[in-house]
Amino acid sequence: MASPIEQFQIKPIIPAINFTNSSLFMIGAAAVIVGGFMLATRKRALVPGRGQSIAEILHDFVAGTLTDATGKEGMKFFPLVFSLFMFVFTANMLGMIPGFFTVTSHIIVTFALAILVIGTVVIYGLMKHGTHFFGLFVPSGVPAWLLPFIVVIEVISFLSRPVSLSLRLFANMLAGHIALKVFGGFVVALLGAGGALAILAPLPLIMAVALMALEFLVAALQAYVFTVLTCIYLNDALHPGH
């Protein structure tokens, strides 16, 4: 029986260019996204078919999330937010297929995506508002003696954003896949033990099926959470005043 964490193993495919199973599934996710959208919108129909409806619903959903958090001017970040949402969502969903590698179960990937978000916030905020951007750390209406503490807390909370953003996604994907693997492993172990124990084998199987449903929910939900938080952080870049 395989270890529950073996599924997260990075396996080289073309070592010369560092091409691994992770790289393959990243490219797979991107190909599914771009190919899927191009296929769905190929007719450019006025009355959308099934595929085009899904594409348009995804577009309106992400656009709605972005404009709710940042207002109309946030739409300049739409390609970034939409790409992020689709990439995380597709990577999570591809990972649900048995035997497939989950790109987002690696902290370095989620951390890099979180840094991309925070980097965008900081660079855009500084370019747009200059030093006024640091007003983000100085809430108005706070007594002067309290201000140093508040500023320290605000700075720490700002710095912890990429950490919490990346850890949340990473930990959810990792824990879910481990739990699935563990329950799957129980089924095999009980069957292998034979006799009375083999009769109990369906119990963890039922659990694994239930967990599978939960993991689909988590895969979609974490992609959404990542996107919502991205939108909220981008709002700080657009409107830094507290």
* CB-based contact 119:108 (threshold 8 Å): no
**Secondary structure class of 19 (helix, strand, coil):** strand
Taking the complex as a whole, the smallest distance from the CB of residue 100 to other proteins amounts, in Å, to 15
Q: Of residues 51, 54, 59, 67, which one binds other proteins by CB under 8 A?
A: 59
What is the C-alpha to C-alpha distance for residues 28 and 22, in angstroms, rounded to an integer?
10
Our finding on whether 160 is near other proteins (CB under 8 A) is no
* CB-based contact 228:64 (threshold 8 Å): no
Taking the complex as a whole, the smallest distance from the CB of residue 48 to other proteins amounts, in Å, to 8
Our finding on whether 16 is near other proteins (CB under 8 A) is no
Our finding on whether 8 is near other proteins (CB under 8 A) is yes
Our finding on whether 78 is near other proteins (CB under 8 A) is yes
Our finding on whether 211 is near other proteins (CB under 8 A) is no
Residues in contact with other proteins, counted by CB under 8 A, come to a total of 51
Q: Of residues 5, 210, 217, 221, which one binds other proteins by CB under 8 A?
A: 5
Structure tokens at 120: 């965008």
CA distances from 201 to 22, 176, 190, 195, 214 (A): 33, 21, 5, 11, 21
Closer to other proteins at the Cβ: 87 or 133?
A: 87
What is the C-alpha to C-alpha distance for residues 55 and 232, in angstroms, rounded to an integer?
24
CA distances from 229 to 143, 224, 235 (A): 29, 9, 10
Which residues make up the interface to other proteins (CB under 8 A)? 1-6, 8-10, 18-20, 22-23, 26-27, 29-30, 33-34, 37-38, 41, 44-46, 48, 52, 55-56, 59-60, 78-80, 82-83, 86-87, 105-109, 112-113, 116, 170, 174, 182, 185
